[in-house]
Chain A
Amino acid sequence: EDQVTQSPEALRLQEGESSSLNCSYTVSGLRGLFWYRQDPGKGPEFLFTLYSAGEEKEKERLKATLTKKESFLHITAPKPEDSATYLCAVQNYGGATNKLIFGTGTLLAVQP
């Protein structure tokens, strides 16, 4: 069964303290892995799509990487405005067309 597990569930960092969020996945054939940011009470905001192992993408203080079993979202020198829930999702070649399977997210709090 296709599955996405994110860890940790919650993470508290001091401003400037770099860290990584993990997304482990099990799919029969990965079409794409997606990272989203979600602020409280709002819809998810798209960050990155990764398609193959070894691929990396960056945006400001965020860098996403992908292996055959997991993806990491590295946050370098975070600021309080990076506080949000970060969601990971995968799309499977073998599943229903266009369907995304989501993890339950990592709640990140960055303290000044």
Chain B
Amino acid sequence: DVKVTQSSRYLVKRTGEKVFLECVQDMDHENMFWYRQDPGLGLRLIYFSYDVKMKEKGDIPEGYSVSREKKERFSLILESASTNQTSMYLCASSFAGGSQTQYFGPGTRLLVL
């Protein structure tokens, strides 16, 4: 079974704090993704990575950065958290070829006060 894990289920942070969200997958997937999910807006892609140290911006990259130093690990960084970054953050991974089905982690619900 594919397993994608995220470092925290719930986080509460203060405005201006630097926030790290970590994702680990155990399926040797090339691709990894970070989404945010908000009511009425669905899932929106923040960043994705197709290889170690490689990244591409998604639809809403502003205010975020990412790091992929190892194939199994993909980190999302909020440089200076703001209240409008309160959201559910979802990590996913997939193979680069074949079906490219994305498998999701359990999510991190982030509250920025």
A61 within 8 A of B: no
B84 within 8 A of A: no
Chain B residues within an 8 Å CB radius of A87: 42-43
> How many whole Å from A49's CB to the nearest CB in chain B?
5
Size class of the A contact interface (CB-based, 8 Å):
20 to 34
A32 within 8 A of B: yes
Contact A102 B42 (CB under 8 A): yes
The segment from A21-29, A39-47, A63-71 found at the interface with B is A39-47
> How many whole Å from A8's CB to the nearest CB in chain B?
15
B64 within 8 A of A: no
Contact B42 A99 (CB under 8 A): no
Which A residues from 67 to 112 make CB contacts under 8 A with B? 87, 89, 91, 96-100, 102-105
| Subset of 11 A-B contacts with CB under 8 Å | A32-B101, A36-B104, A41-B107, A43-B90, A43-B92, A87-B42, A89-B43, A98-B50, A99-B45, A99-B58, A105-B42
